Structure 1
Amino acid sequence: MNLESALKEAMTLDGALGVAVVDYESGLSLGTLGGGPDLDLDIAAAGNTDVVRAKVRTLATLDIDDAVVDILITLGKQYHLIRPMTSNHGSLFVYIALDRARANLALARHNLKRIESELEI
């Protein structure tokens, strides 16, 4: 699945507000879809880059030989789900913001895993 198709598919998830594929080494988005005045995906992507870097650094400091599967940030009205890409994509992650009132978190995590595994960059 190419990047454009993956972003479009992610936006079909119930409650999807915006999605991005981001390089956490540079902080740059490779692609975004959705967002708007209340969700600037470029700013969110850059901010979540710091979250991913901090977690990766913490695992290394603790000498934990494992990988981050996903990171969930729960807000009052939104879920922010970060999923580092696993299959030879280096320092990329998928980020999606979801409306808590409309999203099914378990289903979103399941579908984001599938999208991430099929994404070819």
Structure 2
Amino acid sequence: MSHSTCPCGLPAAYDDCCGRYHAGKPAPTAEALMRSRYTAFARGDEAYLLRTWHPRTRPARVGFEHGMRWTGLEIEDTTGGSPIHTEGTVTFRASYTHRGQTGELHERSRFTRVDGAWAYVDGDITSP
């Protein structure tokens, strides 16, 4: 049982936050899926990332960058993506350090439901 704070930025322990989605509970919203996918990147959980990627756009494997450490997530905007929607977008900024350099990924991600569960489709990366 992990009581450490969840990497996604919400004030909850990992097990009570994204850990429950990693363990198999479906994320109720596109934002919850986005946060849990960020946490999966931070923890190197390739199986979860592939499981929550839309089958049409899913890669064969996730290419984790050696030396990449995700350090923070900020959700900027969401459209749709609630429990009653079938599509949604989440715009976010993810901070990282890579080989001693700090950086930021800014993306507008698209999500849709597949067999009732939220799935990541793709995203547009923009410069911060």
More helix by share: 1
TM-score over 0.5 (shorter chain): no
Q: Which has the higher contact order (CA 8 A, sep 6+)?
A: 1
TM-score calculated relative to the size of structure 2: 0.28
TM-score calculated relative to the size of structure 1: 0.29
